[in-house]
Amino acid sequence: MDSYETLLLENPAPHVMMVKLNRPDAANSLNTLMGEELRALWSSFYVDQGDTRCIILTGSGEKIFCAGGDLKERNGMTDAAWQRQHAIYEQMAMAMMNCPVPIIAAVNGAAFGGGCEMVALADFAYAATHARFALTEVTLGIMPGTMGTQNLPRAVGVRRAKEIILTGLPFNADESHTWGLVNRVCAPEALLEETLATAARIAENAPISTRQAKKSVSMAAQIDARNGFMFEIEAYNRMVDTEDRLEGVRAFNEKRKAEFKGQ
């Protein structure tokens, strides 16, 4: 497993990787190095998934998922340096969006700015009861810039997203659930356990199937239904000649659990 300075990688279950944003002394904030390392990590899965079938993204500690961009590092940056750094964040967001492996965010605390945007970039999210969310960029003279203005409306609706983004005000875990940003609110001590149970369930399924289904569902919000159906058919046909399809049918008829190999 690759070693990172700002990320902690663990394998808590077969075929499941847990990625922890690991800058607890800096509120797990996103500095340039973390942006580079996340970009490299997500890009590596685009090339080779290895035996990873589901990913959990969370923060180190019990209070903060990610406080957003590291404003101490950004203090005094030239315009050119700021834009170079943000280009890394842009590539990081695109790499996360393009990651073929399902990503579940386990929001263990505050998710502000870029942290909130990473929650929206994940395929879905669970949150601890004490989690808080905000896109505070307009209070700092900027705006969300890692797909926040694109993904948040898709999750909570355009009018709610405008309220969140234009006020910069925080909202709590129950609101995030009611509005559609997170799928489940968990007791803090149960967050990782419940997220892991879902990740393990996904990892038990045929990995080619989950990757193709993820791509097809993601396309639904981007194109019309007819072209989406054409995309779905192409994604479906990728699985017809796989060993996993044969194994799935055999296992069903033999009344046993399927053993998928991603082939």
Cβ atoms of 127 and 120 within 8 Å: the answer is: no
Residue 4, pLDDT score: 96
Residue 262, pLDDT score: 87
- Domain 7-203 class? alpha beta
Q: For the residues 110-136, what does the mean pLDDT come to?
A: 98
Q: For the residues 238-247, what does the mean pLDDT come to?
A: 89
Q: Could you give the residue range(s) of every CATH 1.10.12.10 domain in the chain? A: 206-253
Query: Domain 206-253 is classified in which CATH homologous superfamily?
Result: Lyase 2-enoyl-coa Hydratase, Chain  A, domain 2 (1.10.12.10)
**Which pair of tokens denotes residue 171?**
């909202």
For residues 1-16, one letter each, b for 16 or more C-beta atoms within 10 angstroms of the residue's C-beta and e for the rest, the string is: eeebebbeeeeebebb
In this structure, what is the dihedral angle of CA atoms 104, 110, 116, 119, given to the nearest 10 degrees? 0
For residue 190, name the pLDDT band (cuts at 50, 70, 90). Answer: very high
pLDDT at residue 1 tops 90: no
Q: For the residues 184-205, what does the mean pLDDT come to?
A: 98
Q: For the residues 70-84, what does the mean pLDDT come to?
A: 92
CA 172, CA 131: separation in Å to the nearest integer?
A: 6
Mean pLDDT of the chain: 95
Beta-carbon contacts of residue 69 (< 8 Å; ≥ 6 apart): 29, 30, 31, 89, 113, 114
Q: Could you give the residue range(s) of every CATH 3.90.226.10 domain in the chain? A: 7-203
pLDDT at residue 20 tops 70: yes
pLDDT at residue 239 tops 90: no
